[in-house]
Amino acid sequence: MFNLAIALFFLSLAIGRGFYVVFDFYVSEVLWWRLGTFFQWAGLSCVSAAIAVKLFTRKIIQYPFISIPIVIGCAILLTPYEYIDTLKLYLIYVFAPIYAILVPAFFFLIAWRIAGRIRLGGLLCGVGFLILYAGRTLQATLIEPWLGTVIGWEALVLLLPPTLVIIALFFIVSGSQILGK
C-alpha cells in the first residue's frame, strides 16, 4: 500500500506539472491551472495515504487524513471562475503552508516512533519534503523577483529552485524505498 501511494504521488506530480507547463507556456486559460492544481492535491492525498498507513492503524483516522486534499482538489475544479482568485489566495496562504508543515512533520514523527531502517527512511522523506517546499517557495511568483534583487545573479535565481526540487526528489525516492520495504 505504501509503495502504491508513493508511486501514485509521483505520477500525480508529473501529470500536474504537465498541465502547469501548458498553462505557463502555451495556453493561459485557468482550466489548465485548475487541472494542474487538482493533480498536485491528488498527489498530496497519496502522500497522506502513505503516511496514514505507516502511522495509524485505525481506518477512522486514516480516511480524513487522505480525503482532505481530495476535497481541496475538487473544490479547485468546481469553484466558479469569479472566485478563483480568492481560492488561489486561500491555497497559497492557508492550505499549502499547513501541508508544507504537516507532511515533513509526519515523516519526522514516523522516524521518531519507529526504529531501524524505517527511521532513516522517515528522515530522508522529511528532509526531502522540506527541500521540495523550499524549492517551490523560491519558484513562486511572489518570491522570485525578490530573490533576484537580493542575489543579483540571474542564472542562480533561475537554477536554484529547480535544483532544490531535483535534490528533494532524490531524498524522497531514497526514503520511500527504505520505508516501502
pLDDT tens-digit profile of 113-168?
A: 888 888 899 999 999 999 988 888 777 666 667 766 777 767 777 788 888 889 99
What pLDDT is recorded for position 45?
94
Number of domains in the chain: 2
pLDDT, position 160: 80
Q: How confident is the model at residue 180 (pLDDT cuts 50, 70, 90)?
A: confident
Domain assignment present for 144? yes
The answer to whether the beta carbons of residues 45 and 66 sit under 8 Å apart is yes
The pLDDT, as a whole number, for residue 143 is 64
58 and 124: one domain?
A: no
Would you say residue 62 has pLDDT above 70?
Answer: yes
Residues 4 and 64 in one domain: yes
Q: Are residues 118 and 58 in the same domain?
A: no
Task: Answer whether residue 22 is part of any domain.
Answer: yes
- End-to-end CA distance of the chain: give it in Å, rounded: 11
Predicted confidence at residue 59, as pLDDT, reads 85
Q: Which residues contact 122 (CB under 8 A, 6 or more apart)?
A: 107, 108, 109, 110, 111, 112, 114, 175, 179
Section 52-73 average pLDDT: 88
CA 60 and chain centroid, separation: 24
For the chain, the average pLDDT equals: 87
**Sequential DSSP letters for 31-63:** HHHHHHHHHHHHHHHHHHHHHHHHH---HHHHH
Following CA atoms 34, 102, 157, 147 in sequence, which dihedral angle do they give, to the nearest 10 degrees?
100
pTM metric for this prediction? 0.80
Residue 47 has a pLDDT of: 92
Percent of the chain with pLDDT over 70: 93
Given 61, 78, 95, which residue is the final one in a domain? 78
pLDDT digits (tens, 9 = 90+) for 65-85: 889 999 999 999 999 989 988
Do 10 and 63 belong together in one domain? yes
Residues 109 and 70 in one domain: no
pLDDT, one tens digit per residue, over 3-44 is 888 889 999 989 998 998 898 889 888 999 999 999 999 999
Q: Within this chain, do residues 112 and 63 fall inside the same structural domain, yes or no? A: no
Query: In the numeric block, which cell numbers belong to residue 175?
Result: 526514503
Q: How far apart are CA 132 and CA 84, in angstroms?
A: 25
pLDDT at 147: 67
Q: Is position 45 within any domain?
A: yes
CB crowding 95-124: b at 16 or more within 10 Å, else e: bbeebbebbbebbbbbbeeeeeebbebbbb
Residues spanned by the domain of 180: 103-181
CB-neighbour burial class of residue 10 (10 A; exposed 0-12, middle 13-18, buried 19+)? middle
Residue 177 has pLDDT above 70, yes or no: yes
Q: Is residue 86 part of a domain?
A: no
Whether residue 118 sits in one domain with residue 72: no
